């Protein structure tokens, strides 16, 4: 008898809990009218990112126009050219092998094309590694040169 009372009690608890469980699974109706802005945090964040991206594009376009106008200015173009020459000379002085390496890089496209035509993946990989090393060397020398006081003043 005690077992049947416990079963009846358990059944009553389940029957009572069913409507609560079912109610918890029902999704509330959308509070928004279709076509209006969402108030969900993830939608607000997405909209914010889209707006920020649009603003960045606008700034980038504006900077490009300013850059184009600056390059059209003869005195700025001369100053830029002088700076580039000074940087090149300082880089050559800092690492006398750079002109030889630059010539090597200019020959690489023909070697890459020949290796591709032969299907020589090993040679392509070697050329890629060599180019990466040369680029890294140029970047290190350039960074060092740009920190030199006489170059930094011109920049």
- Residue pLDDT, tens place only, 101-142: 999 999 999 999 999 999 999 999 999 999 999 999 999 999
Residue-wise pLDDT tens digits, 50-92: 988 889 999 999 999 988 888 788 888 888 899 999 999 999 9
How far is Cα 118 from Cα 139, in angstroms, rounded to an integer? Answer: 32
Instruction: Report the pLDDT value the prediction gives residue 4, as an integer from 0 to 100.
Output: 44
Residue-wise pLDDT tens digits, 3-46: 444 444 444 444 444 444 444 444 455 555 555 555 677 788 88
Instruction: Report the pLDDT value the prediction gives residue 80, as an integer from 0 to 100.
Output: 87
| Sign, CA torsion 145/146/148/151 | positive
* Cα 18 → chain centroid: 51
């Amino acid at each position: 008898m005690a077992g049947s009372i416990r079963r009846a009690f358990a059944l009553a608890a389940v029957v009572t809990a069913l409507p609560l469980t079912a109610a918890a699974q029902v999704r509330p109706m959308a509070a928004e009218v279709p076509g209006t802005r969402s108030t969900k945090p993830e939608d607000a964040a997405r909209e914010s990112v889209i707006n920020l991206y649009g603003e960045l594009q606008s700034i980038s376009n504006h900077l490009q126009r300013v850059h184009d106008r600056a390059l059209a200015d003869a005195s700025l173009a001369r100053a830029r050219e002088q700076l580039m020459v000074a940087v090149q000379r300082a880089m050559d002085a800092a690492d006398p092998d750079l002109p030889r390496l630059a010539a090597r890089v200019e020959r690489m496209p023909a070697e890459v094309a020949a290796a591709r035509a032969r299907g020589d993946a090993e040679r392509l990989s070697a050329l890629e590694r060599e180019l990466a090393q040369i680029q890294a060397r140029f970047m290190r020398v350039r960074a060092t040169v740009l920190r030199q006081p006489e170059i930094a003043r011109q920049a």
